[in-house]
Structures are given as structure tokens and as C-alpha cells.
Amino acid sequence: MQQRLVNVATFSTMVAADLAASALRGHGIECFLEGEHTACAWGNFSPIPEGVKLKVRESDAAAAREVLKESGF
């Protein structure tokens, strides 16, 4: 059975989204970035109107939010 993906954070730059994704992956939480291709068109440091969404499996959402909080995101 596939698990639903949920958004755990939205970032205005690709750099911030990548750092947060790295923090999750470092804790063994698989994550996905939605909007990263749009972000690349705007540039890594430019604010992105829709933002880059950091998504995880629903079962990992609570742990992901805790990791992000502890990591200062």
C-alpha cells in the first residue's frame, strides 16, 4: 500500500529547502522536494513565489517536524 505524502515545511529558497532535506535524510527520513524545478528557474538564492515544499510519507511526518524543529527550521 502506498503512503500519502504530506507537506512538513515550505521554503522560500532552494538553498533552505536543500538544507532541511539534508537534515531529514541524515536522520534516515526519506523526503521529496516539490517545486524544485521552478526554484532552479528562479535561482538558488532568489525567493520563490510558491515556495519549495518539503514532503515526507505521512507516517514520518511527526518525526520529520521534530527533526526540522531541532535543526532550527
Please, are residues 29 and 60 in contact by the beta-carbon 8 Å criterion? yes
Per the structure, the count of domains in the chain is 1
Please, are residues 14 and 62 in contact by the beta-carbon 8 Å criterion? no
pLDDT of residue 45: 58
SS3 14: helix
Summarised one tens digit per residue, pLDDT across range 24-44 is 999 999 999 998 756 555 565
pLDDT of residue 12: 84
Return the higher-pLDDT residue of 22 and 2: 22
Range of the domain at 46: 5-70
DSSP 59: G
Report pTM: 0.83
Summarised one tens digit per residue, pLDDT across range 47-73 is 666 789 999 999 999 999 999 999 999
pLDDT of residue 2: 79
CATH number for the domain harbouring residue 23: 3.30.70
